[in-house]
Each structure stands twice: as C-alpha cells, then as structure tokens.
Structure 1
Amino acid sequence: MHSMKVEDFMRRRPVVFTEDLPIEVAVERLLQSHQRGGPVVDANRKVIGFLSEQDCLAAMLRDTYHKEISANVGDCMYRGEVLSVFADDSITDIAQRMDTKKPKVYPVLDDATKQLVGVITRTDVLGAIDQYFQDSYRRR
C-alpha cells in the first residue's frame, strides 16, 4: 500500500480561493463542489491560508446580523500554517496523519516548487484504501 501515492488519488481541479474573493462567491463554489473547504493561494499558487465551511458560516452570520457589506475571503480565512502534503507522499502516511490531525482537506503541493497542484480529502484517502483492499480480495 506504500506504493499508492497522493498524486494518484488527489483532486487536480480543487476549489481554491484568493484573498479578494467575496465570501458569497466562495460559499457558492463550496456548495457546488461539495468540498468542505479549500486553500487560499497567491498569484504564484502558493498556499497562504485556508477557508473552511466553518469560516464561511461565521462570516455570513456576522454579516447578516450586522447587515454589513459582505466580507472577502481574506477577512475570514485561517492564516496560520496550513497542513499540506506532497504529491509523492504515500496514501498510508497521509492516512496516519489524518488519524491524528483534524483537517478534512489537505492542499497537495509540488515537491520542487511548493505550488498547489491539488487537494486530497479524507474521502479520497478512504477510497484509495478501499480500492487497495478490493484489489487484494480479487487476487485471492
């Protein structure tokens, strides 16, 4: 199972955000994609933060309560260190990391450039492990 790599199961066209994107547009993208959150990137596709459904919910409730003009992603996103993985990491290693860490979506970075190349979710990792076991059962 160590030969199964993140790049084989990651989402290559994930929902991503920029800091200046209106929160309503970000929410619409999340709802259409069924993705729980996504990385916020700069012009060079470097991850500078993360926007979750929880961040969006808090911002929209606040804006509704105060009847204010909408926030942008940059006003709501998480700006700390974003837990990321690399495309050539093994699915097993990622699954073990997901067991101890809480994110449901991990940005996938290119090893050389550290640019965003996709995302991998818990569902994607679970599907990869399931595929491994299904293939093992068929070989018996």
Structure 2
Amino acid sequence: MKAAEIMTSPVFAIASDAKVAEAVRLMLQKHVSGLPVVDAAGKLVGMVTEGDFLRRSEIGTTKRRARWLELLLGPGAQAENYTHSHGRRVDEVMTREPVAIAEDTSTAEIVRLMEKHRVKRLPVVRDGKPVGIVSRANLLHLFAGALADVKPVAASDAAIREHIQAEMKKQSWAPTGSTSIIVRDGVVQLWGTIFDERERLALKVLAEGAPGAKGVEDHLIWLEPMSGLYLEPPKV
C-alpha cells in the first residue's frame, strides 16, 4: 500500500513563528502527538512533537549532565539544550529538515525510514507542502485490518507439511537439516534438534502461520553448542 492510502488527512500544521503554547494547545485539542511546521508559503520546514516538550524549564525537567560530560560535549551542545528547554517559539524547538515522504511512498519504505531515523511519524508532502501524516498508529490500523482479513482455511495434512517445509527453505536461520515436520489431523509436530533456543519460537511461529494448521506440538531438543548438552523441550 501507499502513504496516500493510510495517511491521516487533512493534516494539522503550525506556523514556524507561532508560540510554543499555541502548538501545545493545538496538539491537545486535535489529539495529535506531532505537528508539521510550515513557513509563510505553507512549505514544510520542521516538525514539533510531544518529545520536544519533555525537557522544559517550566516544569523543572531540563536536562542536567555531569560537568565532565558538558566539557566533553562543548558549549554548542549546551547552548542547543538551553534553546530547546527555554524556547518560546516553535522554530526554536522544532526539528529542522524533517524526513518527509511522498504520497506514493510504499509502506515498506515508510517503515524503513521510521527505523532508520528513529521517528514515530512522517509528514506526507506534495510540492513541498504537507498534505497528510503517517504515524505508527496508521500502520497499526493497517496491521489490524490485515489480521481481520485472515480467514480459517481447510488444508490436508500433506499440504500443511509442504507449506511449512517450503517456508523453512526460504529462511536462512531455519534448521532444515536437523528437524522434521509431521502433521496429523491439522496439528503440526516439530521434531529434531535445534542449536539456538531462539529457533524454537521462530519455528512455532512459522508452523502456526501455515494455512489449515490447528495447533503446534513442540518435540524439539536443543543441543547447546558449547557444552554439547541436550535440553528437553519445555513442558506445556
């Protein structure tokens, strides 16, 4: 899907020369956690979020660092922190040059950008002007819809087994050579040896996702590589 299909629109924006108090009131009134910041021409110039108001002098939460760290960071970083904690205008506390996306940006690219830049929302722009915003909540709604679309299906034991084996071959982590799959009446049995305990849960998740699977029984044994000890599967 594309950004235009999941974004929140119209978007509530704030002028760069507006007071911080105005931004706070707008976020509270519209129940949003972030606002695109625009210049006089309506072009995107920044983003202001709830995080920008966590360290504020008015509520006694300004950032305090050890003296040695202040010396290491230098006066520039200290000046920047002061601006953010005491600034009264939006352009004094906003994040400049925010990461923005186009309306045709794919959801895969949206997630990649969020993870890369460690942001919770991305403004959607057209000709430099914000027309929407995509947040983690929008992606969560998309995920919820995808889950609702999943319908139970009937499949033979052989078809379930073939699906699981095919999926395992696609995964570089899957221990295909040391495990075997048995399916009886729709219930998947996992047998064999794993060499990393994390593979156990991943295999169960993979098996549970097979169309027609009714349940999963774990009979895997973990061989600890360093000690050579065998650990029995957990009792459920």
TM-score between both structures, scaled by the size of structure 1: 0.78
Which protein has the bigger strand share? 2
- In structure 2, what is the equivalent of residue 71 of structure 1? 88
Q: Give, in angstroms, the shift of residue 70 of structure 1.
A: 7.6
Does the CA-based 8 Å contact 2:43-2:130 persist in structure 1? yes
- In structure 1, what is the equivalent of residue 122 of structure 2? 106
Counterpart residue type for residue 119 of structure 2: P
**Could you say if the C-alpha distance between residues 8 and 98 of structure 1 is closer, same or farther in structure 2, counting changes exceeding 3 Å?**
same
- In structure 2, what is the equivalent of residue 128 of structure 1? 142
- In structure 2, what is the equivalent of residue 90 of structure 1? 106
Deviations 1:46-99 (Å, cap 9, x if unpaired)?
1111112122343xx32566xxx98121222122x2111111111222123323
Q: Equivalent pairs: percent with the same residue?
A: 28
Over aligned residue pairs, what C-alpha RMSD do you find? 2.3
In structure 2, what is the Cα distance between the partners aligned to 1:75 and 1:96? 28
In structure 2, what is the Cα distance between the partners aligned to 1:25 and 1:101? 27
TM-score between both structures, scaled by the size of structure 2: 0.49
SS of aligned partner of 1:86: coil
SS of aligned partner of 2:118: coil
Does the CA-based 8 Å contact 1:7-1:88 persist in structure 2? yes
Higher relative contact order (CA 8 A, sep 6+): 1
Q: Give, in angstroms, the shift of residue 139 of structure 1.
A: 8.3
Runs of 4+ off more than 3 Å? none
Q: Which runs of 5+ in 1 are unaligned?
A: none
